[in-house]
Amino acid sequence: MYATRSAATSPVTSGVVWAALAGIAFGFSQLSNRGVNRQTNAMAATTAMVTAMFAALVLAAAFTGELGDVGSIPAGAIGWFVAASLVHFLVGWTLFAVSQQRIGPSRTASVLSTNPVMAALIAAAVISQELRSVAWVGVAAVTVGVATVAMGRKNEAPGSSIGWAAVLAATLMFSISPIFVTYALDQSNKPLLGLAIGVAVTVPCMHITTRILTGDWVRLRRSMAVWLVLGGVSAGFAITAQWTAFDLIQVGEVVSLQQLSTPVVIFVGPVLLGASQERPDVRLLVGTSLILVGAILVALFGRAVS
């Protein structure tokens, strides 16, 4: 149902462009999140970032005039937008921040590149977005790439196993939320406004959860300001672009192209964060290359011929 609607009403090229832009923006939002969570705990950092993103989304929706259309969105679409936001941000981003603190942004970003595999499998099972046979070559490349990144690590910091588990769990959340988005977009083709509504519900939930789990409310520091502004704008744009792409091309293709965030994190991160210890080594570069090649194969050849 969803694939037919997209093919009939939306140019594939536009979907590819939106997905690629989302990937690049995601890279900067990941680095911004790391900049914040170096100064506080993972839950507080993620909550602060999503709050900053909500402010950016409200401004964007006001600028485009979409705020006035809130009453026209069906209740069912609102429910799916909220569900997608809670799964993606409250659960997924919190696990993602934990992983960044435990194993660093470069390795977190590389393992997160398993997202195309999980997303493609879940989309095929739930909304019948099947991949062509050649796309499974890309799936295999992604799998081998992740194994290359993760295997053979010596002298891991204490608690690193929690980091690896957290990023895999986050990847699962990021693979489930697109399904909810596609259901929402079947009823309302307003991804920016839908995202703003979903995040409006998610933000207070995250603040309350942070208070329960950490025993304290989120405390913002002046030193976080630049990271919060950069992260809020880049994350808001990235998610909006991603949700727009979901309405144009298949989930597996969108999430595959989103892996452009990985080279941004790996190559820009050490400079932007001033963290020389997180510079990529040979294994990380080889594994990431395999991941990106696999993601591109899925993007180019993933669409099943109907």
User: 177-219 pLDDT, tens per residue?
Assistant: 999 999 999 999 899 999 999 999 999 999 998 998 888 899 8
DSSP, collapsed to helix, strand or coil, labels residue 131 as: strand
| Overall number of domains in the chain | 1
pLDDT(162) > 50? yes
Task: Classify residue 292 by burial, with Cβ atoms within 10 Å: 0-12, 13-18, 19+.
Answer: buried
- Of 279, 265, 287, nearest to 34 by C-alpha is 265
Amino acid identity at 80: W
pLDDT value of residue 132:
72
Q: Per the structure block, which two tokens stand in for 72? A: 């026209």
Reported confidence tier of residue 10, pLDDT bands at 50, 70, 90:
very low
Residue 275 per-residue DSSP state = -
pLDDT value of residue 305:
44
Name residues whose C-beta falls within 8 Å of residue 124's C-beta, 6 or more positions apart in sequence: 130, 131, 252
Separation between Cα atoms, residue 131 and residue 62, nearest integer Å: 38
pTM for this one? 0.78
User: Would 306 be classed as within a structural domain?
Assistant: no
Which residue reads 């920016």 in tokens? 192
Amino acid identity at 198: G
pLDDT(278) > 50? yes
Separation between Cα atoms, residue 284 and residue 132, nearest integer Å: 29
Q: Per the structure block, which two tokens stand in for 4? A: 């037919």
Task: Classify residue 9 by burial, with Cβ atoms within 10 Å: 0-12, 13-18, 19+.
Answer: exposed
User: Would 58 be classed as within a structural domain?
Assistant: yes
Average pLDDT, the chain: 82
User: Would 291 be classed as within a structural domain?
Assistant: yes
Q: What distances in angstroms separate CA 71 from CA 25, 62, 175, 179, 188, one per listed residue?
A: 30, 15, 29, 24, 12
User: Would 256 be classed as within a structural domain?
Assistant: yes
Could you tell me the residue range of the domain that residue 146 belongs to? Answer: 2-301
- Of 220, 266, 203, 247, nearest to 18 by C-alpha is 247
Q: Count other Cβ atoms within 10 Å, centred on residue 13.
A: 10
Q: What distances in angstroms separate CA 104 from CA 21, 81, 157, one per listed residue?
A: 24, 30, 11
